Structure 1
Amino acid sequence: MSQQDLGVHITKSHVSAVENGKTSLTTDSLDELCKSLQLHPVAFLALVYAAQEQQSAADVIATAHADLAKMALLHTPVKPAPVKKPHPRVADAEKVTRAVQDLKNAGHTRAEVARMLGVSEPTVRRHWNRPLA
């Protein structure tokens, strides 16, 4: 198979750089390469590691199978990336903004809101017109 046959999303220069060890594949470029080869990325990696370790692909897959079984991950669905939580300061600021906006909508003045929330008037001013997330 020629480099030109490897798909439209992977350039010949990128394939050359990978072949020469000057760069590595991202998961996206690995996926594109494997689609071009009509091969699952895990099968491709099994072949790569088999060649590197002078084993068969079956041996590499058996090792991976055993590793996942030991970790109780073989038959467990893998969750997507964890949901990113806002930094605690950002979360606290959002709470203050919401409280200020609620009291503002209830008809309180900035000074009253500051006293009620126990924050300074400049803090209330900062959150007074801030849009809610």
Structure 2
Amino acid sequence: MNVALWITAGTLAAVCLIGSAKMFVPQEKLAAMGASAEWVEGFSPGALKALGAVELLAAAGLILPAVLDIAPALVPLAATGLVLLFAGAVTMRLRRGERVTIAGDVLYLALAAFVAWGRFGPEAFIG
């Protein structure tokens, strides 16, 4: 179970790290990346940078506290934050009628929920 949680957390961290690129890529280039990136048109450049910063912090929060053994209790909190982030992404896609591109967000939501559950419960770093 511990190995599965580490693999899942690492996968989520990689996804969030890639997603944090929206801090650096102009909004026009993001919108031109295809049908799954049309959602960026509904956000201001500042909001996109904030989302990118949250994803960057989530990527760090899923891995670094446990690896460095500095406040490893932050890992399930970071996973819970990702659950909220991806729940917001699913809601946004449903409101925009983008049901075709929702599968990835639902998958990441489930993976983040698994990490949160596992690190709060059976494979907690503390206790």
Is this a same-fold pair by TM over 0.5?
Answer: no
Higher relative contact order (Cα pairs below 8 Å, separated by 6+ residues): 2
TM-score, length-scaled by structure 2: 0.24
TM-score, length-scaled by structure 1: 0.23
- The structure that has the greater radius of gyration is 1
